[in-house]
Copies of this chain bind each other. A is one copy, B any other.
Amino acid sequence: MMKITMAKAAVTVSANGGFGFVAGGFDLSNLAKDLGEAAELVKSQGLPFQDGILPIGVGFQNWGSDLKLALAAITAHPVAAVWFFAPNQLCELLDWTKEIRAATNGRTKVWIQIGTVAEAVEVAKTSKPDVIVVQGADSGGHGLAQRASILTLLPEIADTFSKDGIAIPLIAAGGIVDGRGAAAALSLGASGVALGTRFLASEEAIIAKGYQDEVLRVTDGGVSTVATTVYDTVRAIYGWPQAYIGRGVSNRSYLDAVHGMSESENQELYKEAMKQGDAGWGPEGRMTTYAGTGIGLIHSVQPAGEIVRSVQRETVQVLQKTAAKFAK
Which residues from chain A sit less than 8 Å from chain B, CB to CB? 115-118, 136-138, 144, 146-153, 155-156, 159-160, 174-178, 180-181, 183-189, 219-223, 226, 292-294, 296-297, 315-316, 318-320, 322-323, 325-326
A328 to B218, CA, bound (A): 38
Q: Write the nearest CB–CB distance from A154 to chain B, whole angstroms.
A: 8
Query: Which of B147, B176, B220 meets A117, CB within 8 Å?
Result: B220
Evaluate contact between A175 and B148: CB separation under 8 angstroms.
Answer: yes
Chain B residues positioned under 8 Å from A226 (CB to CB):
146
A183-B322, A184-B184 are known; give 20 further A-B pairs, CB within 8 A.
A115-B222, A117-B219, A117-B222, A136-B149, A136-B151, A144-B223, A146-B222, A148-B221, A148-B222, A151-B174, A151-B293, A152-B297, A155-B181, A183-B184, A184-B185, A184-B188, A187-B319, A316-B326, A319-B323, A319-B326
CA distance A148 to B318 in the complex (A): 21
Q: Which of A138, A318, A322 has the most CB of B within 10 A?
A: A322
- Determine whether the beta carbon of B152 is less than 8 Å from that of A151: no
Copies in the complex: 2
What chain B residues lie within 8 Å of A138 (beta carbons)? 137, 148-149, 151-152
List 4 A-B pairs, minimum CB-CB distance, nearest first: A148-B222, A149-B149, A148-B293, A184-B184
Among B137, B223, B325, point to the contact of A146 (Cβ < 8 A): B223
A156 touches which of B150, B220, B320 (Cβ 8 Å): B220
A319 with B316, Cβ < 8 A, contacts A149-B138, A181-B155 known:
no
Q: Are A222 and B319 in contact (CB under 8 A)?
A: no
CB distance A149 to B293 under 8 Å?
Answer: yes
- A151 CB contacts on chain B under 8 angstroms: 136, 138, 149-151, 174-176, 181, 184, 293-294
Which of chain B's residues have a CB closer than 8 A to the CB of A187?
180, 183-184, 187, 318-319, 322
